[in-house]
Amino acid sequence: MSRSTWRRMAARGLAVLLLLLVAATGLLYWLGTREDASARTAAAAPVADPAQRVAQGAYLARVGDCAACHTVRGGAPYAGGAAIPTPFGTLYGPNITPDPQTGIGNWTADDFWRALHHGKRPDGQLLYPAFPYTEYTHVTRADADALYAYLRSLPAVHQENRPHELDFPYDQRYLLAFWRALHFRPAAEPDAGAPATVTANVDANANADGSVARGRYLVEGLGHCVACHAPRDALGATTGQGLPGGDILGLGWYGPSLHAGPAPDGSSPGLAQWTAADIAALLRDGASARGSASGPMAEVVTGGTQYLSPSDALAIANYLKSLPATPAVDAAPPGESTMRRGEKLYGTYCVACHQSQGEGRPPAWPPLAGNISVTAPSPQNAIRVVLDGGFAPATAADPQPHGMPPFGQVLNDDDVAAVVSYIRNQWGNQAGGVTALQVKRAR
């Protein structure tokens, strides 16, 4: 075969490959931008009582802690501007007041549903998944309409949206189509379980089976718990199944596993030791007999879960109790010298509040024995609390909670590593040792 023939065949082969690449690229783009027609045109829920719908929307906005991303500290509610740090740059929550120029005043209820369910603006522009439409797609049309009615009832605030500050190529919005093709599918109309109520009150021994569906709806939808309690890949998409725990990207904290059922090996790691009442108490009060909220979770309680109705808090707890516990992770224990040093430091700085057996004095001072943040695969939370202090959320049940002072300026990296290693491997805890390098990085 002549050289010219080989060249022609190679050119044709290259052309075919390029055409296939273009076709594959086009297919991915289409998959990332398409919408299911039936979901896009989901019928708006009938309005029986407009005032009740607004009240319901206000409750749901609290449950979803919408203000956390859409209200800058000291600013007008829902007028936007709050920074959302990510490994790809900083995004800023937009204005969602009914201002027609800078907010959502010109949006219809269908437009709002499209944003929650499909992750698209009214003009079709793709939204960054820092707005968790990947979870909000599970919200029912009725609840979306209630949220929309509530936001429309707010005072209109004319405040321009702050542009995102993203690194290249993440600032190229059209690339979201390819991300969506790989990581996002709009959900079918979900089952919300029993309707949320503002003043519901149920007995803790009520039928758990009937509330599991409601708890799952809240956890997977407006609660978007997976945002902090699941691992993420290099492109920021959550991976794995359920809520097994993971690093909270951009914040330097670790979201521990929320699986609360018994482990296959018969052990009881993490939330498996918690009762449904313990979990509900942490959500509403910020503290329970098993632990207290701190770091990002304290903010979630302050702005969101403390407003859960008793029935919804218990529903979430019952759903988490239905999830099988993640098996304990094998970890190398620290050396004897590290444990001796940690024990001495614990006796000097920690024992007065957390007690000699790590049992604490809940709810003021949480226990360390069996504490899910202490025994998590990552020591990040324990390190951060020792360095920076621990501050429980202020709630209606505990408006002036106790706090833990920071020890970052008192203890050096080796000291912090030793005391954290000690509490992670004492009183039945078996979470592995901590190095001074890990402490230095946390600083």
Annotated binding residues for heme c, written as ranges, equal: 66, 69-70, 225, 228-229, 350, 353-354
Give Cβ neighbours of residue 378 (< 8 Å, ≥ 6 apart).
247, 254
Other residues' Cβ atoms within 10 Å of the Cβ of residue 188: 11
What 412-418 contacts at long range (C-beta under 8 Å, 24+ apart), as own/partner pairs, is: 413/437, 413/439, 413/440, 413/443, 414/341, 415/341, 415/345, 416/383, 416/386, 416/387, 417/338, 418/334, 418/338, 418/339, 418/341, 418/342, 418/345
- Residues 193, 48: contact at Cβ < 8 Å? no
Per DSSP, the three-state class of 340 is helix
Within the chain, how many helices (H) and strands (E) appear? 18, 9
Binding residues: 66, 69-70, 225, 228-229, 350, 353-354
C-alpha to C-alpha distance for 244 and 378, rounded to whole angstroms: 12
Q: How far, in Å, CA of 29 to CA of 25, rounded?
A: 6
Distance, CA of 301 to CA of 286 (rounded, Å): 6
Determine the distance from the C-alpha atom of residue 132 to the mean position of all C-alpha atoms in its chain, rounded to a whole number.
Answer: 9
The DSSP secondary structure of 187-210, one letter per residue, reads PPPPP--SPP-SS----TTS-HHH
H helix runs in 105-220, sequence order: 109-118, 133-136, 141-152, 176-183, 208-220
Distance CA 171, CA 264 (A): 44
Burial-class residue 177 by CB neighbours within 10 Å (0-12, 13-18, 19+): middle
Side-chain-facing half-sphere of 267: CA atoms under 13 Å: 13
In three-state secondary structure terms, 165 is strand
Omega into 169 within 30° of 0, i.e. cis? yes
Q: How far is CA 416 from CA 367, 394, 407, 424, in A?
A: 19, 27, 9, 12
Helix, strand, coil percent content, the chain, rounded in steps of 5: 45, 5, 50
User: How does DSSP classify residue 369?
Assistant: T
The C-alpha torsion from 259 through 260 and 265 to 269, rounded to 10°, is 90
